[in-house]
Structure 1
Amino acid sequence: MLLPHGAGIGYADEILGDHDSRGVLWDRATINPGHGTPRFAKIHVHRQRRAMRKLLCQVCAGPADHGTLWLIPDRTRQWSDWPEGMAVAEPPVCLPCAHLATRACPALRAEGHLIIRAREHPIHGVDGTHYRAGPHSPIPVTSEPIAFNDPAIRWALASKLVRTLHDCTVVTGP
């Protein structure tokens, strides 16, 4: 629903926890640990957010390798400084799970991947669906990362927390 006075979007039946401490609206998802099957590239919204906040491994939910190891598709040909300054929505990994993920994830096998150690990785914003006002209800426009300091964030339905990678080195690995 549209909030009054062009203030953004919200749920008609909002509950505590729909917005985070910064006022960002989050996608709703059921919490039922231990049930369901893993879906590559579709990490559960609550699991992703917790892993990104606490720098936990996206696979096992244990501590990530010093909180700084990232397993991401190789984009070196498209971006000369890749991955310096890259916004990532994928949580970090621990080294044992990096090996497992490279064997199990179809996208990492197909596109190629690198393990990156980022010494700095501040929280930047969110990824999710960005809306605009419509005549009767919000209209989805795009899905892209939005910084916390961007006024457009009040028009976002967040599904992932985003960090940016800095001071990066490639790690020899799987």
Structure 2
Amino acid sequence: MTHAACTALTCTREKNVRTSTEPGLVPFITQRKGEDAAPDNLIVYRHPSGARLYYADEDPRDRPIRGILWARCGFNPVDDRHMPTGQPQWKLMHPYRQMVTMTKLHCQVCSGPARTPLGFIFLTGPKDHDLTSPTIVTNQPPVCVKHARAAAALCPHLAKNPMVFLARSAPLYGVHGVVYGPDTRHGTRVVARPDSPLPFGHPNMPTVLASQLVRRLSSFRTVDMGELLRELSPTA
């Protein structure tokens, strides 16, 4: 998945590991047709401490993480498995469902707990990260053992050859979003679309409309998909 405008994780059979051909398999975080962005009713207030972005009709649910304003998006009805319904929009992640799964470290495919005895499984594109970089961050929620191979097969960005990170620790890092500012007619305008995530505490955070929560991987190692499934086969 790309980091800034991010696609959803639309994401040889292994025992109890689901395949990409399982009927109706659509990742929980995938945005569905009809789950549209809310009307743009953003305003910027200037406080003694600086500018701050608000919704004109804001309520506390609009700031679910560390007081940061979150992008609003509609919700379709759920089915009898409590999964969203509607035609999948494969290139989009639902901003709230992405945030919830990333906060809880739940699987982005089934929304169940993703912890394994070896840590959390994070998948990224084969060329997404320079492993010599001191900081590895991801906007992709983890996957559970059952859905690791299916996620890799379904996501075009992963090219069926994902880089697999097994992380013992993945602390929250920041957000992807759009930076707003006031315009000349007392409205708002986009002033920046950062390619990289903004860390918590960044000076632009008060005027960001966030759409993805980002974690930093630490205490991790990289493996290939076959090695991952072999190591975890007793738990699969």
TM-score norm. by structure 1 comes to 0.86
For the pair 1:28 / 2:77, whether they are aligned, the reply is: no
Q: Is the contact between residue 122 and residue 143 of structure 2 (CA under 8 Å) also seen in structure 1?
A: yes
Q: Which residue pairs with 1:130 in the alignment?
A: 179
Quote the sequence identity (%).
34
What secondary structure does 1:170 align onto?
Answer: strand
Encode CA deviations 1:83-139: one digit per residue, 9 max, x unaligned.
x521211100112212001211111117x4211111221001111112233323222
Find out whether 1:81 has 2:125 as its counterpart: no
Once the two structures are superposed, what CA deviation does each residue of 1:29-77 show, in whole Å capped at 9, x if it has no partner? 122233223333422112111111111010111111436110111237x
Q: Is 2:163 aligned against 1:119?
A: no
Matched residue, 1:11: 55
Output the CA distance in 1 between the equivalents of 2:156 and 2:224: 20
1:162 aligns with 2:214: yes
CA distance in 2, matches of 1:19, 1:26: 6
SS in 1 for 2:92: coil
**Structure whose CA Rg is larger:** 2
Cα 1:40–1:167 change in 2 (3 A) is: farther
Higher mean alpha-carbon deviation, 52-61 vs 10-19, is at: 10-19
Runs of 4+ in 1 over 4 A off after TM superposition: none
Residue aligned with 1:17, SS: helix
**Deviation (angstroms), 1:80:** 4.4
TM-score normalised by structure 2 residue count: 0.65
Distance in 2 (CA, whole Å) between partners of 1:17 and 1:121 is 24
The one-letter code of the counterpart of 1:147 is P
Q: Quote the Cα distance in structure 2 between the aligned partners of 1:75 and 1:21.
A: 30
SS of the residue 2:219 aligns to: strand
Corresponding residue of 1:95 = 145
Instruction: Return 5+ residue gaps in structure 1 as ranges.
Output: none
- Runs of 5+ consecutive residues of structure 2 not aligned to the other structure: 1-42, 79-83, 227-236
Give the helix-richer structure, 1 or 2.
1
Question: Is the contact made by 1:57 and 1:94 (CA closer than 8 Å) also made in structure 2?
Answer: yes
Q: Find the counterpart in structure 1 of residue 15 from structure 2.
A: none
Partners of 2:125 and 2:159 within 8 A in 1: no
1:105 aligned to 155, 159, 170, which one? Answer: 155
In 2, distance between residues paired with 1:138 and 1:29? 19
Q: Any idea what SS the aligned residue of 1:7 has? A: strand
